[in-house]
Amino acid sequence: MDEQQIYLIRHGETEWSRSGRHTGRTDIPLTETGREQAEFLKPIFEDVKFAHILSSPLQRALETARLAGLGNRVETADDLKEWDYGDYEGITTREIRKSVPDWTVWTHPCPNGETIEQVAARADRVVQRVREINGDVAVFSHGHFLRVLAIRWLGMDPHAGKHFLLGTSTLSILSYEHEIPAIKTWNGPLITAACSVPWTRPSVPH
């Protein structure tokens, strides 16, 4: 029997992702580039028979799923929302470091937001749920959360997510090798010259 595969899809570009602003619970739409990125996912999924499709309830993730041709089968899950950045919502790492030198979301707290342990607990619930599904699963979510999710799939400390860069509208696949959790594909570029709006290299994660 084939090993289960979990397809992780980060949503397409938004105005805030393009400018490096922390976008946690703020519900903003895709840009035109983000919509085109999402549309180029569609042929990739045409031959994949998903047993289940999950998405964050935030519109940037749901819109990506819809434009990728999977919107009519999506079940939303609050556990798939992005990290709650609290007081750092809508601002960049550079701005935060003016008052907290060397700050990163992986090493420092987000005042009035989530801790990395709280994000990891949500990721653990998602891992448990998808492992109970018989078949392949698509998961539409957000950059920082998907990095933690992948790390927890492997059973590693969530802080290791800082080493796993993830661009917008990229595809990653979690699976197994000899029953051992593994990453099959990571941060796969889905569009380049094929898109009429040029794909730009993702900025360094927050």
Q: Is 203 domain-assigned?
A: no
Least confident of 13-17, 19-23, 156-160, 193-197: 193-197
Query: Reading across the β-sheet that carries 50-55, which strands appear in turn?
Result: 74-76, 50-55, 136-141, 6-10, 171-177, 180-188
Structural domain harbouring 105: 6-188
Is 36 an annotated catalytic residue? no
Kindly report the average pLDDT of the chain as a whole number. 92
Q: At what angle do helices 32-39 and 59-67 cross, to 10 degrees?
A: 40
Given a cut of 70, whether residue 206 has pLDDT beyond it is: no
Q: Which of 13, 63, 82, 89 is catalytic?
A: 82
Residue 203 has pLDDT above 90, yes or no: no
- The answer to whether residue 169 is domain-embedded is yes
| Mean pLDDT to the nearest integer, 1-16 | 94
Please check whether residue 1 lies inside any domain of the structure.
no
For residue 105, what is the domain's CATH number?
3.40.50.1240
What is the band of 145 on the pLDDT scale with cuts at 50, 70, 90? very high
Q: What is the mean pLDDT of residues 78-89?
A: 99
Q: Is residue 198 part of a domain?
A: no
Tally of structural domains, the chain: 1
Query: Using the 8-state DSSP alphabet, how is residue 140 labeled?
Result: E
pLDDT, tens digit, 9 for 90 and up, residues 40-71: 999 999 999 999 999 999 999 999 999 999 99
The β-bridge partners of 75 are 54
Does residue 176 sit within a domain? Answer: yes
Q: Give the model's confidence band at 1: pLDDT under 50 very low, under 70 low, under 90 confident, else very high.
A: low
Query: Which residue's structure tokens are 């360094």?
Result: 204
Is position 43 within any domain?
A: yes
Beta strands in 1-78 (DSSP E): 6-10, 50-55, 74-76
- Which structure tokens are listed for 125? 């619930």
Judged against a pLDDT cut of 60, whether residue 190 lies above it is answered with no
- Does residue 59 belong to any structural domain of this protein? yes
Torsion of CA 110, 75, 158, 119, to 10 degrees: 30
Examine the residue annotation and report whether 46 is marked as an active-site residue of this protein. Answer: no
